[in-house]
Structure 1
Amino acid sequence: MFNRILPVIIFLFMCADNSRAQEKGSAFTIIPLGVKGGDDESNLSSYMITPKGSDKYVCLDAGTINAGIQKAIDFKSLKGNSEEIQRKQIKGYLISHGHLDHLAGLIINSPADTSKNIYGLPSVLNILRDKYFTWDAWANFANEGEKPQLKKYTYFPLIEGNTYPLEGTEMKVKAFELSHGNPYKSTAFLISHNDSYVLYLGDTGADEVEKSDKLASLWQNIAPLINAGQLKAIFLEVSFPNEQPDKQLFGHLTPKLFFSEIGKLKSLTDGDTIKKVSFIVTHIKPPQHSAEKIKHQLLTENTLDLNLIFPKQGKLLTIN
């Protein structure tokens, strides 16, 4: 009798081990709703992210929402209609900073949305509360600020370095402050599911230009995750070509500064472990000839042999 049962027990243990292995190797589904910096209001910074196999997303920034969802439907990255996807599948918004190209879609589409959290550093949430969700500018759909408060959105302050669950999803987040044209602040969000991570940086300048240590501190925090093979992808902006003078960067990166910063990160990691990380290039600014130059410079100056990804609006990305 025992001889017949033993193979079944072994099989069940193997299944459990495989399940745990799959959890440890969690992949992420990313749907870019907007990928550009600049003046195209239909394609501004916003990325839906969820663990693979789930339809419970959060948005990393929210410059474009509805137009991006429609583009994703056209690409068959999402199914359904855009309003229902925003209402039911987007469970919250992580806002890196208070510039309109990172939150205009959230504001404009708020009347059709459902109740959910807006996550951010307290200084960022204060901008939403005091500048945008006011009755002079729009309507106060949030739970703080000018009265009457419609209380559709709940501000969820993130204290730097603490880890918080993202409500309605299986993910967690940890926030890190960035410098975006001193004294203006931005945010990096470290998203986790089980023991897999994705790092999203909002707009940021290089430490050497910003006279800051924000990126150096961030690299110190994430280097161990790269060494452990747990950090799957980094979203990092490149807004201008190398010809842009430092005084006209306004808290952004060029290809040269991009590789300078990633070189500093690589120096904190073991061997070639950084090559296992996908680098998703964000916030490339128009005009088109400038965007083409940025891409060319990134590809030709990639002496670190990084896996560079140039996201396309609406086109699904799977990060393993």
Structure 2
Amino acid sequence: MKTRGQDSTVSDTGQKPAIQVICLGASGGPSEESVTAFLVRSVHSGWARGSLLALDAGSHLAPITRILERDFPTVSDGKRIDGPEPTVLTSGPFSGLELPHASARANALHVLRAYISAYLITHPHLDHISGFAINTAAFHATSKPKTLAALPMTVDAIKQHIFNDVIWPNLTDEDGGVGFVTFQRLKEGGDVMVGDGEGRGYIDVVDGLGIRAFKISHGVSTKVAPTHHHRGSISGFPDIPVINETTQFMARTSQPSPRLSATAMDIPCVVDSTAFFIRDDHTALEVLMFGDLEPDSISLYPRNRIVWEEAARKIALGLLRGIFIECSYEDAQGDAILFGHLCPRHLISELQSLAALVAEARATRAMEKSLRKRKRSVANGPDSAKHTVSVHNRKRSRSLAGRSVAKDIRRSSAPGHAASHVTTSPPLGQTLPAAAGLKVVVMHIKDTMKDGPYVGETILAQLQQHEAQLDESGTALGCEFVVAKSGESYWL
């Protein structure tokens, strides 16, 4: 058995990551080459068959082939240069995976058929599903159907508009289809009847990974649907939808003001997308991966805060290691032409909302811990209480003296796939920013296809500039921004 490269999945501190995310595509178009697509796996599960989860698949088999052509160069000028025995890669995103074939394309197909068992789709736009649809032609030799897991709205749209024997053959196992694909309809917010503790509500979709789905807003469509509204919670008027900045939106789009009634409102139809919390079963560590979304500040139906509240609680518990979120445009893009997407100023604003919620969650948690200690001290008597306070003070002094927060979130990049590490130590008496140690991977970059710097570089620079301004005012987020690139992997 042959091996190539060196192992890169262990940090300088010797700590093992819990989740690996491989970027297949980070673009939002217009080029179709590497649009949104990721692979996710539990490191603890290893390279077990069926252990890879595809998060969206705008591009899919093609970038897997490209990565293997880079990291597994076993065909040169049409000639085999390696023998027939399996090869184990020890560098690149697929490090540790045993590949049985001599060519990159044959091994890419092997990865698709043997290791990717489920597709987690955020919403049914073509730049998130086109690779999946085309690649279904390769599913015929698998031992069981591939699973497409999504909220019911996404499943219904894909059934009706893709696998309808018009746009694409019905290769699903519903409505008399061929049976290459089976659907798993997820419950919004998770299934409370499944799991317990922090794992309650998480649905297993592949070996070692559970997910919870939250609906988010991706702008509005051009259709106006009087019956497509969402009920809010305005005091005294429970049937009136909660609309954020509706008047401003209508003015920007030259539409008449909505007719507000106790039961319905004629407004543009909200385009739904999904944010997924993905949890490693072995360590309980998580990543948060968003589909396309717009900022709450200009949304007709703001829903990001619900996701941020859950994320803040997990950050306070030390469970959330990274966020994958879109930032499609640079700041020059006006609010009226964001088309349901984010730009740096709005991403920073959303992360500020998260940071405020993290601070609240940590304060609440500290108060609860203090109350529990006080109750134990009272229960054990006054002498015990004095001893507890004394021990606590000594421990706290030692903790502050040597306090450091190590980032065990690692990013591997081509071609050497080397990991990056940052360690942050606050001065005595100071606390870290709420989002310190959090990796924010920016994706869905819409390329301008013009001469000059890649728009992703501009977006990253603007995010860093916003962060520097916050730092000057003493309100820095403290997170690390990374622009996703096809062929990279991220260890969290």
> Which TM-score band applies after superposition, normalised by the shorter structure?
0.7 to 0.9
Partner residue, 2:204: 166
Is 1:193 aligned with 2:280?
A: yes
2:112 corresponds to which of 81, 86, 94: 86
1:260 to 349, 368, 373: 349
TM-fit CA distance, 1:314: 1.4
The answer to whether the aligner puts 1:125 opposite 2:155 as a matched pair is yes
Q: Greater share of helix residues, 1 or 2?
A: 1
* SS of equivalent to 1:268: helix
Q: Is the 8 A contact 2:121 2:149 kept in 1?
A: yes
The CA deviation string for residues 240-266 of structure 1, in whole angstroms up to 9 with x for no partner, is: 111111111111000000000000000
Which structure's CA Rg is the greater one? 2
Q: Which amino acid aligns with 2:457?
A: E
Q: State the one-letter code of the partner of 1:284.
A: I
CA distance in 1: counterparts of 2:55 and 2:162, whole angstroms: 18
Q: Describe the SS at the equivalent of 1:276.
A: coil
Partner of 2:134: 108
TM-score for the superposition, normalised by structure 2:
0.58
Relative to structure 2, which stretch is displaced further, 136-145 or 216-225? 136-145
- TM-score normalised to structure 1 length: 0.87
Q: Is 1:142 aligned to residue 172 of structure 2?
A: yes
- The gaps in structure 2 that reach 5 residues or longer are 1-13, 72-91, 100-106, 191-200, 221-269, 360-431, 471-476
Q: How many correspondences in the alignment?
A: 295
Q: Choose 26-35 or 287-296, whichever is displaced more.
A: 287-296
The answer for the alignment partner of 1:7 in structure 2 is none
* Superposition RMSD in Å: 1.8
C-alpha distance in structure 2 between counterparts of 1:125 and 1:311, whole Å = 27
Q: Is the 8 A contact 2:205 2:211 kept in 1?
A: no
Q: Distance in 2 between matches of 1:168 and 1:38?
A: 29
Q: How far apart, CA to CA, are the structure 2 residues paired with 1:124 and 1:134?
A: 14
| Partner amino acid, structure 2, of 1:41 | E
Shift of 1:310: 1.7
> Which segments of 5 or more consecutive residues in structure 1 lack a partner in the other structure?
1-21
Alignment of 1:1-320 (within 5 A): 27-53=18-44, 54-55=46-47, 56-73=51-68, 74-75=70-71, 76-78=92-94, 80=99, 81-113=107-139, 114=142, 115-145=145-175, 148-162=176-190, 163-182=201-220, 183-194=270-281, 195-270=284-359, 272-288=433-449, 289=453, 290-302=455-467, 303=470, 304-319=477-492
For the residues of structure 2 that align with 1:262 and 1:143, how far apart are their CA atoms?
41
Is the CA contact (8 Å cut-off) linking 2:437 and 2:478 kept in structure 1?
no
Preserved contact between residue 31 and residue 72 of structure 1 (Cα < 8 Å): no
**Contact persistence 1:203–1:237 (CA under 8 A):** yes
Structure 1's consecutive aligned runs of 4 or more residues displaced over 6 angstroms after TM superposition are none
Does structure 2 retain, via aligned residues, the 8 Å contact 1:34–1:313?
A: yes
Deviation at 1:96? 0.3
CA distance in 1 between counterparts of 2:278 and 2:206 reads: 14
The structural deviation recorded for 1:239 is 0.3
